Structure 1
Amino acid sequence: MSERTALHTAVERLAGRLRALPQRRLRAGAAAEGLELARWLARQAQLLEFPGREPYDMPDDGIFVVGDQLAVAGHELAAVADRDPGRAEGVLVEALRRLAVTAKAVG
């Protein structure tokens, strides 16, 4: 399995888990963990796509959309990585590591 495919699968799994969590668990830190990861993924995608531009910060749109934000950021990173796989390889490896750590923290 390619790293891009693994990223897509891991992002979908964690985003689905975040979407299904009860409000209590989201407020207890799961949403913050997911948003932190989504912001990192979005930043990496922007750095790869627009290397000379300072990346925009992903906003905090609330605990109930963090799963969607994670999915969008992860899929954007995968799409950008497709265009320049050589430059993106290290970022994809780190993204998979961070996804695993966040998935474990979210439960």
Structure 2
Amino acid sequence: MLDTTPLTTAVERIADRLRVAPQSRLQRGAAAEGLALARELARRAQRVESPGEEPMTMPDAGVFAVADQLAVAGTDLAESLRMTAASTRELDEAVEFVAEAGERLRALL
């Protein structure tokens, strides 16, 4: 099984930053960036779990919920990768994607 710790650590770090961000920063783009990241991670998890099926889109639950949505999506993807025959390439790509989103978010927070 894959060690998905790098993915969950990176996601939790970003989620924690979003949880403590002021409402004004969330509304100026940080929440939208966080939601985009959560949606992509959820999409990837669904593709791992149900290849060939069209993934559902994570709803927008508001600026104060985005950190939790991100944490859940990241955990779901990590668990999906860990429990399936996923390749290390898929994990590495997810970690890289999260790191890039984290850089964009850093500029917004």
The corresponding residue for 1:49 is 49
Matches within 5 A, 1:14-93: 14-85=14-85, 87-93=86-92
Paired with 1:63 and 1:88, the residues of 2 have a C-alpha distance of: 33
Instruction: Letter of the 1:39 partner, please give it.
Output: R
The answer for unaligned runs of 5 or more in structure 1 is: none
TM-score (normalizing by structure 2): 0.89
Instruction: Please tell me the root mean square deviation across aligned C-alpha atoms, in Å.
Output: 1.4
State whether structure 2 residue 22 is matched by structure 1 residue 9. no
Alignment size in residue pairs: 105
Aligned residues: percent identity? 51
Paired with 1:40 and 1:88, the residues of 2 have a C-alpha distance of: 18
User: Contact 2:3/2:82 (CA < 8 Å) preserved in 1?
Assistant: no
Higher helix share: 1
Paired with 1:65 and 1:47, the residues of 2 have a C-alpha distance of: 24
Instruction: Letter of the 2:100 partner, please give it.
Output: V
